[in-house]
Structure 1
Amino acid sequence: MGPVRFTENEMTRAMEGAAKSVLAGQREVRKGGRDVEDVWHDLGRFGRYQLLAGLADQVLPVLTALPDVEVEPGTRPTFTEEQVRAAVEEGLDGVGRLQRGLVLKARIALVEAALAAVPPRIDPDGLLTEDSIGEIEIPDDLSGL
C-alpha cells in the first residue's frame, strides 16, 4: 500500500467519467433517451478530445491537489467531502465572489464524477490494469526460468 498518486490509466478513466457526466447532462441525451456510451462513441476521436481538453483545466488540477491516501488493492481512492472541497477551492482564485458558489458546486460535482470513474486498484503500486491481467502468465514450475 502506498499513497495515492493517480496512474495514467486512472487519470484517463477519471477524465472520461467527468466527460460522460457532462454528456449525460446535455438536453439531447436526457430528453432523447440516448445512451451516454453511444453518444461518447459517436463524438469520434476529435470530438472526445475537444470535450476532454475543455474539462482538463477544471478536473486535473483538483485531482493532483487531493491529499495522499492509502489505497488497498481491490478498492479505489476515497476522499471526504471536505478534502474535495478544499482541493477545488484552491483553484478558484480567479473566480469572482458572485460566481464562486455556483462554480464551486459545479466543479465539486464534476470531480466527484471523475473520482467515481476511477477503476479499483488491482495492485498496491497501481501498475497493473484490468486489461493487463490477462497478459500475465504464471508458470507451473520454475524449470523454464
Structure 2
Amino acid sequence: MRFTEHELTAALTGAAKSVLASRKDVRKGRVDVDTAWEALGRYERFQMLDALGAQILPVLVALPDVDVAPGTRATYSPKQVSDVVASLVEDDLSRLRRVVVVKARTALVQTALANVPPRLDPDATQLA
C-alpha cells in the first residue's frame, strides 16, 4: 500500500500514544495521554517511535494495494493484516513465541491503521 508520509506519521504517532496509554498514570486517569506524550522528551519520543516503526512500517508497506476514495481510510481485514505480519516475523522463534508476536504485532498494526487520517481529495488540495 502506498501511504503518504503524513499518513504514516499519524499512524505511528497514534500507535505510540496507545502504547503510552498503558502507563499506570495514564491508565488510572491521572494524566491525559496527550499530556503524557508532550511530557516526554524529544529523545524519549524518538526512541518510542523508532522501536514501533521497526515493527509497524514494514507491515504497512507490505499491505496489498487498495483503492481509497477521498474522505475514507484504507481498510484491511484482520486476516489480511495477520497474514502480512506472519510473513514478516522472523523464522528463528519458537512456535509459541511466534504466535504471540504475530498477535501482538497485528493488534499494533490495526491500531496504527485506525489512526491513519482519511485520504484527501487530490483535486481539492491543488493550489489554483
What is the TM-score when the length of structure 2 is the normalising length? 0.90
Matched residue of 2:75: which SS? Answer: coil
Cross-structure match for 1:39 = 36
More helix by share: 2
Output one character per residue of 1:83-124: Cα deviation in whole Å (capped at 9) or x when no partner: 101111011124321211211111111001100110000125
Q: Taking every aligned residue pair, what percent have the same amino acid on both sides? A: 54
Residue identity in the other structure for 1:116 = A
Does residue 21 in structure 1 map to residue 43 in structure 2? no
Q: For residue 103 of structure 1, what is the aligned residue in structure 2?
A: 101
Hey, what does 2:89 align to over in structure 1? 92
Output aligned runs, 1:1-145, within 5 Å. 4-94=1-91, 95-124=93-122, 128=125, 136=127
TM-score (norm 1): 0.80
**What is the alpha-carbon distance in structure 1 between the residues aligned to residue 55 and residue 2 of structure 2?**
18
Measured against aligned partners, the alpha-carbon deviations of 1:9-53 in whole angstroms (never above 9, x if no partner) come to 000001001101100112232125311100111002211111001
Structure 1 vs Structure 2 CA RMSD: 2.0
Listed one character per residue, the Cα deviations across residues 45-98 of structure 1 (whole Å, up to 9, x for unaligned) are 211111001111110111011000010000011011111011110111243212
Contact 1:92/1:100 (8 A) holds in 2 = yes
- Structure 2 unaligned blocks of 5 or more: none
Structure 1's unaligned 5+ residue stretches are 139-145
Alpha-carbon distance in 2 for matches of 1:115, 1:15: 9
In our comparison, the structure showing a higher alpha carbon Rg is 1
Q: Following superposition, which runs of at least 4 residues in structure 1 exceed 6 angstroms of deviation?
A: none
CA distance in 2, matches of 1:91, 1:65: 9
Instruction: Give me the whole-angstrom Cα distance separating, in 2, the residues matched to 1:120 and 1:19.
Output: 19
- Between the aligned partners of 2:94 and 2:56, the Cα distance in structure 1 is 19
Contact 1:76 1:119 in 2 (8 A): yes
Q: Count residues in correspondence.
A: 127
Whether contact under 8 Å (1:72, 1:124) holds in the other structure is no
Quick one: distance in 1 between partners of 2:88 and 2:30? 35
Which residue in the other structure is 1:143 paired with? none
